[in-house]
Amino acid sequence: MSLGKVAVLGQGYVGLPLAISAARVGWDVTGIDLSLEVVGGLNKGISHIEDVSDIELSSMLESGNYRAASTFDAVNESSICIICVPTPITESSLPDLKYLESAIREVAKRLPAGSLLISESTSFPGTVTELIIPILQELRSDKGVSIDVVSAPERIDPRNEKFTLRNTPRIVGGITASGTKRGKDFYLTFCDFVYEVSSSSVAEFAKLLENTFRQVNIALINQLVPFANSIGVDIREVVAASSTKPYGFMPFYPGAGVGGHCIPVDPIYLLWRAHKEGLDLPFISQADLVNSEMPKYVVKRLVEKIKPIKAGNILILGVAYKSGLGDIRETPAKAVADQLERVGFTPLWLDPMVKEFYGYKSYSSQDLVGATVVTAQPDSPVADLAMTGVPILDCTGAYKAVKGVEQL
């Protein structure tokens, strides 16, 4: 027996695992995505997301509890509608809400009275009250008063086998107490714990704080890398030593920068919203600057390592933002490649999980003058390259034991 009909807008890294989780416990779920390629693949049992296997997807298709669609028709019959669309930043580092606004406008006129509308898309504190509610008021004859609106920001960490969608606590905050309770009851059908907050703005703020915390602490370690290198100390060993303290410290590690859909983006939403209030957040601004400058430092170290060579092919090993993924959103490898070109080298790339990388040429046994590991991907030929004498700078710490590989 179905628990009810649910429409999930966006079938990417957030929306698809959510849709499958809800379908697994008995919700009648339609996953909506505007990509015909994505929808066609999903309805054939082909998953494009590492956290959802083809077997799992096919099982939900066969059960009848899940199907994908490229139209919004299912919203008309759904008691719950969840927005899981991207909220990136523009080239000018401003919030890009066009996908979110478009999604809300599409569903606003279709939602049945009494529906629960949940936004999982990460955005600034006040998105529900300043963007979503006004659209409902504009487009609905009932001015949106019949719709319960809730913020429940996603907490997906792709390929994390310890903390999954089920056992990672959910935060839920609505416009009304009754809406918050409805949201909590929904998530408790497939999540172990739900934490209620007093408003949608608190929920939105909490998500930004989580990833700003990571941005700032990663920046602290990245800022110490040049100093540690100059005095001959391995910063990763320092972090490991500090981590033996059982309280007051959390380990964060250096790298070529930060990537993905959260850490480089979420603090920008927080900064932008603060600026609207006439406030500066210099600590967060500096953290963003430190991490965004790391690709330049990586290239500087690599160029110093291969002196006096001033031109040639340099290989970037691992261009996804995270090990085990094919996701290149906001990957620091892009900035490393751009900087290599800027100083006169030709960047090549190799990543078994990535099909295309911003138009750069992939590696196919070309002669190399150097290489850098940005992301430690499975079966990366770092050891084989090192044996040929190619100078390699490892930004990940994964190849510390390989002879001839220098650590960041």
| pLDDT exceeds 90 at position 237 | yes
State CA 283 to chain mean position distance. 22
Phi/psi for 405 (5° steps) reads: -100, 125
DSSP string computed for 374-396: SS--TT--HHHHHHTT--EEESS
Among 83-97, 177-191, 285-299, which stretch is predicted with the lowest mean pLDDT?
83-97
CA distance 270 to 201: 12
Q: 314-360, pLDDT tens digit by residue?
A: 999 999 999 999 999 999 999 999 999 999 999 999 999 999 999 99
C-alpha closest to that of 100 among 64, 70, 67, 124: 124
| pLDDT exceeds 90 at position 253 | yes
C-alpha closest to that of 376 among 328, 333, 296, 322: 322
Angle 190-193-199 from CA coordinates, rounded to 5°:
105
10 Å CB burial of residue 206 (0-12, 13-18, 19+) is middle
Q: Could you give the residue numbers annotated as active site?
A: 262
Considering all CA atoms of the chain, what is the largest pairwise distance in Å, rounded to the nearest integer? 71
Task: Tell me the mean pLDDT in the region 34-49.
Answer: 96
Model pLDDT, residue 261: 84
| pLDDT exceeds 80 at position 1 | no
| pLDDT exceeds 80 at position 185 | yes
Phi/psi for 406 (5° steps) reads: -90, 140
CA distance 50 to 283: 35
10 Å CB burial of residue 224 (0-12, 13-18, 19+) is middle
Q: 291 pLDDT band (50/70/90 cuts)? A: very high
Describe the chain by its helix, strand, coil percentages, rounded to 5.
Answer: 40, 15, 45
Q: CATH assignment of 5-198? A: 3.40.50.720
In the chain, what are the domain boundaries? 5-198, 223-407
Per DSSP, the three-state class of 69 is strand
CA distance 105 to 59: 32
Task: Tell me the mean pLDDT in the region 249-262.
Answer: 93
Task: Tell me the mean pLDDT in the region 306-310.
Answer: 91
Per DSSP, the three-state class of 170 is strand
Model pLDDT, residue 17: 97
C-alpha closest to that of 15 among 59, 77, 76, 57: 57
| The two structure tokens encoding residue 357 | 């990388």
CA distance 41 to 23: 18
Q: Which CATH number fits domain 223-407: 3.40.640.10, 3.40.50.300, 3.40.50.720, 1.20.140.10?
A: 3.40.50.720
User: Fold match between 5-198 and 223-407?
Assistant: yes
